[in-house]
Amino acid sequence: MDETKESDTSRHFLRQWIEEDHAAGRTGGTVVTRFPPEPNGYIHIGHAKAVCVDFGMAKLFGGECHLRLDDTNPTKESDEYAENIKNDIRWLGWQWSGAGDGKEPGFYNASNMFDTMYQIAEELIRRGQAYCCNLTQDEWKEYRGVPEKPGRPSPSRDTDPERNLRIFREMRDGKYADGEWCLRAKIDMASPNIHFRDPVIYRIRHVSHYHLGDKWCIYPMYDFAHPIEDALEGVTHSMCTLEFEVHRPLYDWVVDRMDEQGLLVVRNGVKIRPQQREFARLNITWTVMSKRLLLQLVTEGHVAGWDDPRMPTVCGMRRRGFTPGAIREFCDRVGVTKVESESDPALLEWCVREELNRTALRRMAVLDPVKLVIENFEGARTVSKPNNPLDESAGMRKVPFSKEVWIDRADFMEVPEKKFFRLAPDREVRLRGACIVKCTGVEKDADGKITTIRCTWDEGSWGGNPSDGRKVKGTIHWVDVATGVKAEVRLYDRLFTVPDPLRDGSDGFLKYLNPDSLKTVTAYVEPALAAAALGERFQFERTGYFVVDSKDSTPGAPVFNRTVTLKDGYKPA
């Protein structure tokens, strides 16, 4: 997929907004965006959407997109998460760029800005724009009030800067317990926007930070930290999800204070004022996306890890065989809007099929094997088949064929139903690319299960068509018994049985886990597949798209994950 293509969905309001600013010279010549994940989990398809918007807009305008780890919240953050986030973004096809705050271009840690944030806070205090407050959490809520009625001022609201500076430094120096004091911006206790009623901007937390250890016991709040990070990095356009729309006036307030303090970046003579705009988050049916619930699925063992192919995480989708191009195409098709909606995973699967149909090599694999013996077939031959009928340059492959082949149990019926055109007693079927066989009988075990299907072949039909021109309707795939390779195949289905697993709230979602979301079978596959590379994707003819599992495959013994079935009824609007 060409992500610079000008599809209708990419002509969205964010793009127009950036276009105008850029044209008016407000970017100082460079559009700068950022993707700001918190390194407290793995990124999922929702984050992938934000990644595509943030990196996509920067690319469209020839600008920069920074990768900023928003590590201002000391708990639950780790370098393992951070490394995986980087890996996933690169895999999705994006690369951060710009100056960076260390050795790596375009890469920032918000925690590297703690010193500056602290200095900005002190300056707010000196200017009478912030004060230390020791209301309890409950009192603070009660004083703040409801949007319809002005709130009440904290008794600390009009205290003098010197006292506040002293207490703030004592907070920093560890003199107080968590929650005893906080620093609040002095804005407007009567504002109808509750976030404007003297919001907390620093709080005490005696918790070690994964990079800075115990250097700090006070940490900035998101609403204070985020605009500072954007401004210090020279970000021009800061895009986030809709729930932050009501926080925007506060974002602007912080940027104004930085301007007063002379802290805005100047690029090509233009003072860069970062601006925030919001778009609807991506919601997908048949799954959950909150990091907390994904973590619960992992820790309670409902899935095999963050990269379980049933997870909506980027690493899970990768292991499932989804392609970066299909994920980007999906994000593009969902589009950028201001209205919350839910997307069907069938659209993503459709995008995956579209791409794999063009690119995946064809192979034959029999997932539910039963042996077919061709009584009058002598010796061994090879069938030459195209690797991809849609792509001549993919070349041909040779597939061994002899007297015994595996076929899929579902391709034979002892008593055929009305519209069943495949193999049945006394009927003919085409073994794809090889020849026509006719069923002469079956052998069964003690339980009546068919163990062997006996056939004869039409010796004039080599290549697949009878010499007398008679019609043979059914064509089935097969794998030669003598050379076929045994392989574990994992058939994945939806993780939940209902489109809205959170219908009873987040406590009840586990009861909608799909007990059949993973079925493991032992299949026989073409010999060529024994040498398949980890992560290589194939179309198993008539069956679906499969990928070589990157974790559990061993040399000569690949494990295959089903990415998607070959078809379903879904068509995008």
Rounded least distance, CB 290 to ligand ATP, Å:
5
Q: How far is the CB of 250 from ligand ATP (least distance, A)?
A: 16
| 3-state secondary structure at position 495 | coil
**H/E segment holding residue 84:** helix 79-91
Residue of 497, 491, 536, 489 whose CA lies nearest to 515: 497
Q: Output the smallest distance, CB 140 to ligand ATP, in A.
A: 23
Q: Which positions from 196 through 235 interact with ligand ATP, judged by CB under 6 A?
A: none
> Binding residue for ligand ATP (CB under 6 A) from 201, 231, 255, 282?
282
Q: Site for ligand ATP (CB under 6 A): which residue of 59, 144, 248, 291? A: 291
Q: Which stretch binds ligand ATP (CB under 6 A): 286-294, 301-309, 404-412, 489-497?
A: 286-294
Piece of the chain touching ligand ATP by CB under 6 A; list 33-41, 305-313, 406-414, 467-475? 33-41
Least Å distance between CB 281 and ligand ATP? 3
**Using CA atoms, how far apart are residues 109 and 77, in angstroms rounded to an integer?**
12
Figure out which of the listed residues 67, 167, 182, 240 binds ligand ATP, where binding follows CB under 6 A: 240
**Minimum CB separation from ligand ATP for residue 70, in Å?**
6
Q: Which C-beta is closer to ligand ATP: that of 34 or that of 362?
A: 34
The pair of three-digit structure tokens given for residue 75, joined into one six-digit string: 């708990």
- Is 74 one of the binding residues for ligand ATP (CB under 6 A)? no
Q: Which is nearer to ligand ATP, 73 or 387 (CB)?
A: 73
Q: CA geometry: angle at 59 spanning 56 and 65, to 5°?
A: 80
The count of other CB atoms within 10 Å of the CB of residue 241 is 15
The reply on whether position 290 binds ligand ATP by CB under 6 A is yes
Does 310 bind ligand ATP (CB under 6 A)? Our answer is no
**Binding span for ligand ATP by CB under 6 A among 182-190, 282-290, 425-433, 515-523:** 282-290
C-alpha to C-alpha distance for 105 and 529, rounded to whole angstroms: 41
- Neighbour tally for 341: CB within 10 Å: 11
Least Å from the CB of residue 291 to ligand ATP: 3
Nearer to ligand ATP, 49 or 59 (CB): 49
Please state the three-class secondary structure of 394-433 as a single string.
HCEEEEEECCEEEEEHHHECCCCCCCCCCECECCEEEECC
Stretch that binds ligand ATP, among 30-38, 363-371, 492-500, 561-569 (CB under 6 A): 30-38
Report angle CA 269, 270, 274 to the nearest 5 degrees.
150
Q: Is residue 289 within the footprint of ligand ATP (CB under 6 A)?
A: yes
Q: Which residue is nearest to ligand ATP (CB)?
A: 46
Q: How far is the CB of 22 from ligand ATP (least distance, A)?
A: 21
- Residues 34-63 binding ligand ATP (CB under 6 A) are 36-38, 46-47, 49-50
Q: Which stretch binds ligand ATP (CB under 6 A): 190-198, 249-257, 283-291, 399-407?
A: 283-291
Rg (CA), the chain: 31
Residue closer to ligand ATP, measured from CB, 33 or 461? 33
Nearest to 74 by CA among 117, 38, 121, 118: 38
**Cα dist. 298→293, 420, 476 in Å?**
9, 43, 40
Q: Is 432 in contact with 422 (CB distance < 8 Å)?
A: no
**Alpha-carbon torsion (79, 80, 85, 86), positive or negative:** positive
- For residue 297, the minimal CB distance to ligand ATP (Å) is 13
282 or 372: CB nearest ligand ATP: 282
Q: Which one of residues 193, 241, 296, 440 is an interface residue with ligand ATP (CB under 6 A)?
A: 241
- Rounded Cα distance, 384 and 463, in Å: 9
Cα separation values, 503 from 46, 293, 400, 460, 509, Å = 19, 14, 52, 61, 8
Contact residue for ligand ATP among 281, 397, 432, 542 (CB under 6 A) = 281
Smallest gap from residue 312 Cβ to ligand ATP (A): 10
Residues recognised as catalytic: 38, 281, 291
Phi first, then psi: what are they for 48, rounded to 5°? -60, -35
Contacts of 316 (CB under 8 A, 6+ apart): 306, 307, 308, 309, 310
Closer to ligand ATP by Cβ: residue 48 or 171: 48
- DSSP summary character for residue 218: E
Size of residue set near ligand ATP by CB under 6 A: 14
Applying CB under 6 A, the residues found at the interface with ligand ATP are 36-38, 46-47, 49-50, 240-241, 281-282, 289-291
